[in-house]
């Protein structure tokens, strides 16, 4: 019974490098959400994707951040030229469908902790 799978769980990058975070949604789920959690802070919405489509990226920083959810494979959150302020926990969540049973819940992965040194 695989839940939402995220990897890597922990990632250390030097300033200026690239970070790639991967998320495989739960089986049967076609919607993926990415959230960021800074230390001692709440969750901030970043982006909402369906297969091959970005539905809402209103929470994504305008530069250096991008996300995709290809037809095959996991969703990827990519951070280019990382800076110390990017250090955070990045959570992926998935849900079955927009028009499924009312009130479909989203289920979270265990997170990817990015540390920029």
Partner 1 sequence: AQSVAQPEDQVNVAEGNPLTVKCTYSVSGNPYLFWYVQYPNRGLQFLLKYITGDNLVKGSYGFEAEFNKSQTSFHLKKPSALVSDSALYFCAVRDMNFNKFYFGSGTKLNVKP
Rule CB under 8 A: which residues touch partner 1? 4, 6, 31, 33, 35, 41-43, 45, 48, 55-56, 91, 93, 95, 98, 102-103, 105-111, 113
CB of 81 to partner 1, least distance (A): 27
Please identify, using beta-carbon distances, which residue of 79 and 93 lies nearer to partner 1.
Answer: 93
Q: Which is nearer to partner 1, 25 or 111 (CB)?
A: 111
Q: How far is the CB of 10 from partner 1 (least distance, A)?
A: 10
Contacts of 6-9 with CB under 8 Å at 24 or more apart are: 6/90, 6/91, 6/92, 6/109, 6/110, 6/111, 6/112, 7/112, 8/112, 9/110, 9/111, 9/112, 9/113
Nearer to partner 1, 25 or 109 (CB): 109
């Amino acid at each position: 019974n695989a839940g939402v799978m995220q990897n890597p769980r922990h990632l250390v990058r030097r300033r200026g490098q690239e970070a790639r975070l991967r998320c495989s949604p739960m089986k049967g789920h076609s919607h993926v959400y990415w959230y960021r959690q800074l230390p001692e802070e709440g969750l901030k919405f970043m982006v909402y994707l369906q297969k091959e489509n970005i539905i809402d990226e209103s929470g994504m920083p305008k530069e250096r951040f991008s996300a995709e959810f290809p037809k095959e494979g996991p969703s990827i959150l990519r951070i280019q030229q990382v800076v110390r302020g990017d250090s955070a926990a990045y959570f992926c969540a998935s849900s079955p469908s927009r028009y499924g049973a009312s009130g479909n819940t989203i289920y979270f992965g265990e997170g990817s902790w990015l540390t920029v040194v």
